[in-house]
Amino acid sequence: MQSTIPVLEDIDAARVTRQEASGHQRVYLETYGCQMNVSDSEIVASVLQKAGYGLTRDPEQADVVLLNTCAIRENAEQRVRRRLGHFRARKRKRDRHLKIGVLGCMAERLRYKLLEQERLVDVVAGPDAYRDLPRLLDESAETGQSAVNIQLSREETYADIAPVRYGSNGVSAFVSIMRGCDNMCAFCVVPFTRGRERSREADTIVDECQALFEDGYREVTLLGQNVNSYRHGTCSFPDLLNRISLTVPAMRVRYSTSHPKDCSRELLEVHRECPNVCNYIHLPVQHGNSEVLERMRRGYTAEHYRALIARAREICPGVSFSTDIIAGFCGETEAEHQDTLDLMREIRYDYAFTFMYSERPDTYAARKMRDDVPEAVKKHRLTEIIELQNSISLENNQQEIGRIHTVLVEGNSRRSDRQLCGRTDTNKMVIFDRHHYVPGQYVRVRVTGCTSATLLGVPVQAI
Ligand code: SAH
Ligand code: SF4
Ligand code: F3S
């Protein structure tokens, strides 16, 4: 399923559609990690374009290659290192003027170490240093040395920078509403790479949503590591959703990601009251056992989480849930793992992002606990989790057959340009024949078939 929630470790090979190269120096930007990084790359593109750079989707045409990186798991970093190796070889062998920059979470985590480990990197910039990129590129060009800015900020939200939405489908856009995370889950590197939590001024968010609507967009996904702890002045997250919903009533509003401990009754009521706030919540549980959750320092128990889901289903009938789950966290026993499977059977998520625990340096778990579940056991448990989720997703989708959904058309289906794809309010991807429908349109579609990942349908009428 293609989804708006963290597309972790996916390369978004800078699909520059409308912003072809125009300036002197051409920049190729490649994005790894979560949607925050995709959104940040749009900020980077904007900053660089203003400074006179052009953008290119072809790395071979680029004078500057920037990798916006992710540090969430070891294998995410390894992918970046392999890619860096490729560009380094090019620079060494045939393109010594090529500038290579590492941005984002890996830059922040490794700081100067990155320069020792990865020779030939010219620029290292952390997530709060993107305004400084033109200066860093100039500096490294002038001095022939690497230029580094890994300063984290307590204020930076890039609120005044209009993102260049170079990879967008023109229908659905990301709007970043907060940065950083104060939660300090035991396994997670994000608080170290993204710094303290800070929220963006509400007016600038509402204005951006309005402007997107005027540009033809019909869906926004509000982004942050923990969006439901958003607060700017007196404006809370439910207040913000309400304001956006009223200002652009024909715009679908989603958000990602939310933390169970901050999912209030008030927020659930906004889902119920605002028709354009989607009936879908990505609510990462991470584990089904309360003791593991405590070791993870998540701030809730499995019972609390179950009660939250029950309350949400009561307030918002038909609400769809997806989640994140980690297999093989420190000290996880077979019985604890079974608790995760039991919780999944009970809650019946529509989708789950599932991961093997990967120890990250400096985190609480790395400092205080032992990564003692053998790799093969982690793998086996992860496979069980994935297989269970696939069967639940399939059964959930089968129950959709015969129902009619309002689908927002996003574009051609991946397999055929005679078919379109779009998502339901509940975030399920639907494929149907094109007829005369176009992206950005809302279409009523009757579901006629499914796989575990996708619904198939026939249009009933446009709206
Ligand atoms: N802020 C979001 C999560 C961002 S990271 C939230 O709290 O919901 C996305 C997911 O990656 C996490 O939910 C978690 O499931 C996974 N993850 C984070 N650190 C990890 C690690 N060290 N090993 C494996 N998975 C991890
Ligand atoms: Fe990481 Fe936890 Fe913050 Fe999510 S809430 S980014 S998992 S520390
Ligand atoms: Fe990765 Fe950083 Fe996002 S570590 S998941 S790119 S916040």
Ligand 1 environment, Cβ below 6 A: 6, 72-73, 187-188, 190, 225-226, 257, 259, 284, 286, 324, 326, 355, 357-358, 360
- For residues 437 and 433, what is the distance between their CA atoms, to the nearest angstrom? 9
Total-model pTM: 0.94
Ligand 2 pocket check: which of 259, 283, 287 to mutate, most ligand atoms within 8 Å of Cβ? 259
462: confidence class by pLDDT, cuts 50, 70, 90 = low
174 pairs with which residues across the strands?
221
Q: Return the ligand number nearest the Cα of 38.
A: 3
Residue 21 in this model has a pLDDT that exceeds 50 = no
Query: In the prediction, which pLDDT does 347 show?
Result: 98
Site of tokens 């397999």: 415
Residues with CB under 6 A from ligand 2: 181, 183-185, 188, 190-191, 225-226, 259
pLDDT in tens, 146-202: 999 999 999 999 999 999 998 899 999 999 999 999 999 999 999 999 999 999 999
Residue 24: the pLDDT is: 77
- Can you spell out the DSSP letters for 234-251? TEEHHHHHHHHHHHSTTS
* Pocket mutation for ligand 2, best pick of 225, 255, 295, 326 (most atoms within 8 Å of C-beta): 225
- The token pair at 346 is 């009970």
Q: Tell me, what amino acid is at 453?
A: A
pLDDT higher than threshold 90 for residue 1: no
The alpha carbon of 448 and the centre of ligand 3 are apart by a number of angstroms equal to: 37
Q: pLDDT tens, 382-420?
A: 999 999 999 999 999 999 999 999 999 999 999 889 999
What pLDDT digit, counting tens, does each position of 126-145 carry? 999 999 999 999 999 999 99
Mean pLDDT across the chain = 94
Q: What percent of the chain has pLDDT over 70?
A: 95
pLDDT in tens, 322-380: 999 999 999 999 999 999 999 999 999 999 999 999 999 999 999 999 999 999 999 99
Using CA atoms, how far apart are residues 156 and 266, in angstroms rounded to an integer?
Answer: 28
- CA–centroid distance, 51 to ligand 2, in Å, is 34
Strands 54-55 and 26-31, bridge-based pairing: parallel
pLDDT of residue 232: 98
Ligand sitting nearest the alpha carbon of 181? 2
Lowest mean pLDDT of 10-19, 93-102, 288-297, name the range. 10-19
pLDDT tens string 223-266: 999 999 999 999 999 999 999 999 999 999 999 999 999 999 99
Q: Which amino acid is at 372?
A: D
**How far apart (Å, rounded) are the C-alpha atoms in residues 309 and 338?**
20
Q: Residue 322: what pLDDT?
A: 98
